[in-house]
Amino acid sequence: MGRRQAREAAMKTLYQMDVGGIDPEVAIKNTAEIEAITPDDLIFTRELVLGSTEHLSEIDDTIAALSRDWNIERLARVDRNIMRMAIYEILYRDDIPFSVTVNEAVELAKTFGSEDSGKFVNGVLGKVARKNDGGALGETKGSDQIFEGRIG
């Protein structure tokens, strides 16, 4: 399966929780039953879901501060949950390069979000990455789109 699919499973799990108010472990179990996910990938999915949930207040405050003129509750649920997961990775997972996290989140947003979701997610995450890396982002690993379409 791989990390890309594990991120997709995590996004779907966070979406279930957001829409239905489902407990994280129940939502993870639901996703594991629906998605073809390996045990190793399920571990990564669980880490993303539980980490995002554990730090939800701080993550949502970050999204609200960086997405000007948008109330967190008014954001599209798909976009909101993709950003929650990606911001968790950026802030709490030193083992994953910013560029990988942003690229994966943008691809999820393009696939599951609206026409403008990729640009919006990219802009917000670009700000988070710059803020948390002292302005030095490093390589972009295979995506010309990373940090294009910045917000404000």
Contacts of 55 (CB under 8 A, 6+ apart): 88, 91, 92
Q: Sorting pLDDT into bands at 50, 70 and 90, what band is 135?
A: very low
Q: Which of 122, 23, 34 is nearest to 8 (CA)?
A: 34
| The pLDDT of residue 1 | 59
In whole angstroms, what is the distance from residue 135 CA to residue 132 CA? 8
pLDDT in tens, 7-17: 999 999 999 99
According to CATH, the superfamily of the domain at 56-152 is NusB-like (1.10.940.10)
Highest averaged pLDDT of the listed ranges 68-82, 105-119, 136-150 = 105-119
Single-letter amino acid code for the residue at 140 = T
Query: In the structure, what pLDDT confidence band is assigned to residue 81 with cuts at 50, 70 and 90?
Result: very high
> Is the pLDDT confidence value at 141 over 50?
no
Domain segments of the chain: what residues?
Answer: 1-54, 56-152
pLDDT for the residue numbered 149: 36
Which residues are within 8 A (CB) of 30 and not within 5 positions of it... i.e. 6 or more apart?
Answer: 13, 16, 22
* Average pLDDT, integer, range 141-149: 37
pTM assigned to the model: 0.83
